[in-house]
Amino acid sequence: MRFARLIATAALSGAAVLATAAVPAQAAPQADRGPVRALCSTTSADFTVRNVSRPINHQLLTVTNTGSEPCVLVKAPLLGFDNDTYVGAQPIEESAPQAVVTLEPGQAAYAGIRLSSADGSGENGRNVRTLHVFLDSGEGSEGGPDSIALPKGTWIDDSAAVTYWQSNASDALVW
């Protein structure tokens, strides 16, 4: 009896699947994603960097949209120190937010910069004076660099890293 009930249930389920498959598929409605936003550019952005007390060996990079239109920040800023000809801080992939950061005119976003290893294990440590900031377009840099003076006594080593752009400073300093 139990076996017969299972077969009957399976037959009814199979018929329901066949009936559903016979109905023509309709396209799902597209969600309104709003207007496509331009990438932020260093020409319409103002950058500042400051030391923070916690976590140790970190600075906070702030970008403010000085343009008249909203723009988006993707990935992490590309950073170089002094006369480096390469990216001097690797992106912290685990810090990627769930969505790109959109900046309305006058709004700010943040990235945490880990300058050196807390345990002293980093190599090639040195004092640096200038930070060169490029904005990542997802396929390289967007526009030229913006160069800003670093706080006096800024020390970096090979473990320098930077978070993805975050909407608030506390999220940028978690990493």
Distance CA 31, CA 151 (A): 46
* Residue 64: other Cβ atoms inside 10 A: 16
Which candidate, 109, 115, 57, places its Cα nearest to that of 89? 115
The CA-based angle 95-170-163, given to 5 degrees, is 25
Is 44 in a helix, a strand, or coil? helix
Q: Note the pLDDT of residue 86.
A: 64
Q: What is the pTM of this model?
A: 0.77
Which candidate, 82, 56, 160, 169, places its Cα nearest to that of 114? 160
Distance CA 52, CA 112 (A): 10
Maximum C-alpha span of the chain: 84
What does DSSP assign to residue 57? T
User: For residue range 97-136, what is the model confidence (pLDDT) as tens digits?
Assistant: 999 999 999 999 999 999 998 888 889 999 999 999 999 8
User: For residue range 2-48, what is the model confidence (pLDDT) as tens digits?
Assistant: 434 434 444 444 444 444 444 444 444 444 445 567 899 999 999 99
User: For residue range 146-169, what is the model confidence (pLDDT) as tens digits?
Assistant: 999 999 999 999 999 999 999 999
Distance CA 101, CA 2 (A): 57
* Residue 110: other Cβ atoms inside 10 A: 19
Residue 128 in tokens:
């640096």
Q: What is the chain's length?
A: 175
Which residues have C-beta within 8 Å of that of residue 122, sequence separation ≥ 6? Answer: 116, 157, 158, 159, 160
Q: Note the pLDDT of residue 85.
A: 59
